[in-house]
Amino acid sequence: MFTPAMTNEEIEAVAYKDFLEIRGRVEIAKDKFVQRVRCTPPGFWALHSLQETHTLQTRSKSTWTVYFYYLYTTPAGAVKVSSILYTSLPGEGGTDYLFMNNLNRFWLERVSADFSRQYEERYVAPNGIQLNGLLPAVYFMRTAGDRQILPFAPDTWTEEERQEKVLFASEQGFMEMKREGRVDIYLAFRELKGEDDS
């Protein structure tokens, strides 16, 4: 179970054990989801038939949510789906979310409460996006797959910040991220428009 008092190293250790325990269960659930999508005639697809959520409990008493969603069907008829595996980490400043999105190798991504708040205020709300029950952090993970590391840092960053942080960009905006061990922590989100455009 994750608690606000845990260090980043402790969070990583618990998440790794959970990853080893549940990745097989997630793959089985994913195969079943693909079968349900394949067996539903296209004309009868509805939002609920194109996405699905399961809750998984681990021996460490962590509760992970796996969110499956349909991507496309190939011309040969193969159904392509993706999944997002996440859990919450409540804290004094709000709730962070932990993500394990690659079932082939362990890598943990942490979306801070500040990042989620900024993302919702600066991207989701201004663009009139209806989340339909999705958390802003989950929507970010689902839709910002085009993010790329920028080869420069803002002039305002100190030398220490330049050593531990990186800046990402996507069509949605700029993301400030810090890497600690095998954990990427998303700290802040800024929209693409300049200061004069607000």
- Say if 3 falls within a structural domain: no
- Say if 160 falls within a structural domain: yes
pTM of the shown model: 0.88
Specify the pairing of strand 94-99 against strand 51-57: unpaired
What pLDDT is attached to residue 23? Answer: 94
What pLDDT is attached to residue 197? Answer: 46
Q: Does 195 score more than 80 pLDDT?
A: no
By residue range, what is the domain housing residue 125? 8-197
To the nearest 10°, report the CA torsion of 132, 137, 143, 146: 170
- Say if 2 falls within a structural domain: no
Number of structural domains (the chain) is 1
- Say if 1 falls within a structural domain: no
User: Could you tell me which of 178, 174, 176, 177 has the C-alpha nearest to residue 190?
Assistant: 174
Q: Does 44 score more than 90 pLDDT?
A: no
- Say if 76 falls within a structural domain: yes
